Amino acid sequence: MTGNRDDVVRPWSYLSAQALHYLFFAIRGQQFLRRHATLGGRHWPAFGVPGAGVALTIDDGPHPEWTPLMLDLLDRHQVRATFFLIGGRVRERPDLARRIVAAGHTLGNHSMSHPQPFAALSRQRMRDEISRTQSEIEDATGVSTRLFRAPGGNWSRSVLATTADLGLTPVDWTVNPSDWRSPGVPRITRSLSRGRAGQVLLCHDGGGDRSQTVEALETVLPRLLGRGLRFVTPVDGR
């Protein structure tokens, strides 16, 4: 696809996408401070979940090392999460995608190759990234996911319109511990422990060494459960 002129990222598109990227940092900060985060819909990403639950979302897998450890951890604490999968990695490890489903977790679409900035792509490339991932997930698991998260949370009118055209609901987050940076277990633990009812927590099981994330969640999950929080699916809240 690199030879198609429609897929070339033009400078103005790149700059616009980067501006939107930083704008959403401010929006997420505002959402975190709100009593009830925005639930979103087909034309605006969901930053929160309805009711008194909290949603744990896990991006960038499946990964042969970290996904099994994450699944074992979630099983020990009887927590259900939503895994936003990358299509290319599903193709490499369809068995792990099936294991996620068999464990009772929800699947989400996180694009085929995680290109960034996502909002700078042409509409055709965006559509291809999302639709190909839908096919990979369905072929591997028999499940048709209804949720999409833009790589890097890089939303735009075009991204949201493409998502809606494909019948998917856009999902963002409220609490981001930046675990993809490997900032240390204490920082990840402290950030996730601030999560409260109605919020969406962001974690990763792919894209690098996720040992810090797994270790932090060993503390965070019982802590949140001890506060009476119930883990739910984004958008549905159940």
C-alpha dist (Å) from residue 237 to 19, 65, 76, 173, 198: 31, 29, 22, 14, 9
36 given a catalytic annotation: no
Answer for the pair 238, 59: CB distance below 8 angstroms, yes or no. Answer: no
State the catalytic residue, choosing from 59, 128, 172, 205.
59
State the catalytic residue, choosing from 21, 128, 204, 205.
204
User: What SS3 state is found at 31?
Assistant: helix
Task: Kindly give, in sequence order, each residue whose CB lies less than 8 Å from that of residue 55, ignoring residues fewer than 6 positions away.
Answer: 49, 81, 82, 199, 200, 201, 231, 232, 233, 234
C-alpha dist (Å) from residue 166 to 44, 47, 63, 133, 174: 14, 20, 26, 12, 24
Task: Kindly give, in sequence order, each residue whose CB lies less than 8 Å from that of residue 34, ignoring residues fewer than 6 positions away.
Answer: none
63 given a catalytic annotation: no
Indicate the burial class of 7 (C-beta count within 10 angstroms; 0-12, 13-18, 19 or more).
middle
Q: Which residues pair with 84 in a beta bridge?
A: 59, 108
Say how many C-beta atoms besides its own lie within 10 A of residue 104's C-beta.
12
> Which residue from 210, 146, 149, 148 is spatially nearest to 178, judged by alpha carbons?
210
Quote the tokens at residue 203.
């974690």
Catalytic site residues? Answer: 59, 204
